[in-house]
Structure formats: C-alpha cells, structure tokens
Structure 1
C-alpha cells in the first residue's frame, strides 16, 4: 500500500467533493450548519485555492483530506493554526487513514513547517463521536460557544504539538 501526502490541486476538486460529501453524512443528519457538509464544487474549488487543502492518497486514490485555514475563523480567536474540513472516504474509514493524515498535519505541517507550538480545530458537542475522538488524540477544550443557529455548543480544541515551545511562549 503506497501513501502520498500532498496539497490538493484543482484537478482533485471532484474527488474531494465526493469524499467530503460522503464523509459528512452524520453532520447533515444532525443538521449542523457546517459549510463542508453541503459544499458544492465551487466551494471545494475555493477551499483548494484559498487555503492549504491536504490529501492522503492511498494507492493513487484520495482517501482523506484536511484543510489548514488561511483565514481567521469568525467564531474563534486563537493564536494557533486552525484546521477544518477533515474527511475520510467511507471506503477507507476504520483503517487509521484519518489518524495518519491528522498526525502528519500536526507534525509535518503545524510543528515542523510552521513552527507552531499548537493547533486548533472546532467541533460540535452534539456530534456523537467527534469530541471524544479528538480528546483521545490529546486535544483539549479551550473555548465554547453556542452560535445560536441550532448547532448547540461548539468547542474550540487545542493540541500542543511542541511542548517546549508552548511552555516557553506561555511561561509568565
């Protein structure tokens, strides 16, 4: 099994539309107002063009995707990079593919390329398994808010990826 981590290109948009749409079934069922859950091809193309959209290919097929946001997330104020649009093709779920991509993002991109001490992401409390999954991976809740749109409580989570740098920056 060959694995390739890379930035998505415009040629990947249709495949990413499929992966994200299929992976976000639970998000739509819960009626969460997440842009990726109902993305169309134009929104996928915009995500690729305006953010760092990464993919994990398995044997030449995009199996998972995760985006490093290049803009400020309107709901959260954080000094650390923010990741979003994490999705694994259902055909690859349960095989550790998503875990590999997230670990790679945390280490190769956030810690090593950007030199950031921590990474953030957000999720909904009412989602049945996302919050516990991220907490098992070492993410901790640092902010909570109810956007008032029916999503319920949303949590901003942080994971420290370089403890020494984090401590040095936050020692007071």
Structure 2
C-alpha cells in the first residue's frame, strides 16, 4: 500500500468526477447544495485549472481529493487566506483516517510550510449533521456565518496554522 500526494491535472478529471459522485452521495441525500455534490466534468476541470487541487493516491488510484481556493481567484474565501473546499474521500476508503491524513498533509506541508499562511478557512452547511463537529475536533473554530442563497447557512471556520507571523 503506497500512498502519495500530488497536484491534480486535467488527465485526472474523469477519475475525480467519479470519486466526487461517490463521496458526495450522502450530501445529495441530505439536500445540501454544495457545488461539488452536483459536479459535472466541466466543473471538475474548472476546479483543476483555477484552484490548487490535490489528490491522494494509493497504489496508483485516487482515493481522496481536496482543493484550496486562493484569495486572488474567482471564488476567494472570506478572510484573504487560502480557503479549503471540495474535500472528498472515496467511501471505499472511508473510516480509515484517509481524510484526516490528507487534511493534515494539506494543512502542514502545503499551507503552513510551503505557503506560510497564518491560518486557513473553510465553509460548511449549518444543516449538515456532523461536519461542523468533525472540523472542530480537528482544531477549526467557527468564525462567521452567511446566507449564500443555497438553502442553508454557510458556517465559516478557521484553523490557526502559524503563530509566528
């Protein structure tokens, strides 16, 4: 079992779409309108081209993905720092710490050590039954709310990554 992390490229789009469809099925059943939950190939390609889209591979197969939107991009987060979104783990790999491992790698290797950001943000739906609690257990704190017209309130969360800046 060999895992590696890398930036996604356009050749990954179909595999990422299939992974996203599987991973976001519970979100669709909950009626939560995350863009990734209703992705098509064009949206996946747009994400790869315009954001920092990372994948975790295991034995050459993509098992998880996470993207960060940059403050200068088309959809910046609310705080002028990179904003985590489109976080998906293949359900076949779920409950094994894969998502936690990918998120920790992103936070430490990419955001803290490479980009040198003081904190990172993300947004989730107030209606989701367990995501807010999960992110709080990972060190995120609530930092704001906004109605973006998606049928739920977006809860913004931040995590401090560096205190020396």
Decide: shared fold, TM above 0.5. yes
1:80-159 equivalences under 5 Å are 80-151=81-152, 153-159=153-159
Q: Distance in 2 between matches of 1:115 and 1:123?
A: 24
Counting matched residue pairs gives 163
1:59-78 equivalences under 5 Å are 59-70=59-70, 71=73, 73=75, 76-78=77-79
Encode CA deviations 1:49-83: one digit per residue, 9 max, x unaligned: 11110000011110000001132536x52022101
Q: Which residue of 2 aligns with 1:45?
A: 45
Q: Which residue of 2 aligns with 1:8?
A: 8
Q: CA RMSD in A?
A: 1.3
Q: Give the alignment's TM-score, normalised by structure 1.
A: 0.90
Q: Displaced runs of 4+ in structure 1, greater than 4 A?
A: none
Structure 2 stretches of 5 or more lacking a match? none
Q: Give the alignment's TM-score, normalised by structure 2.
A: 0.94
Q: Distance in 1 between matches of 2:163 and 2:10?
A: 36
Structure 1 stretches of 5 or more lacking a match? 166-172
Q: Distance in 2 between matches of 1:138 and 1:72?
A: 27
Encode CA deviations 1:19-49: one digit per residue, 9 max, x unaligned: 1111111211122221111111111011111
Q: Distance in 1 between matches of 2:8 and 2:121?
A: 21
Q: Name which one, 1 or 2, has greater alpha-carbon Rg.
A: 1
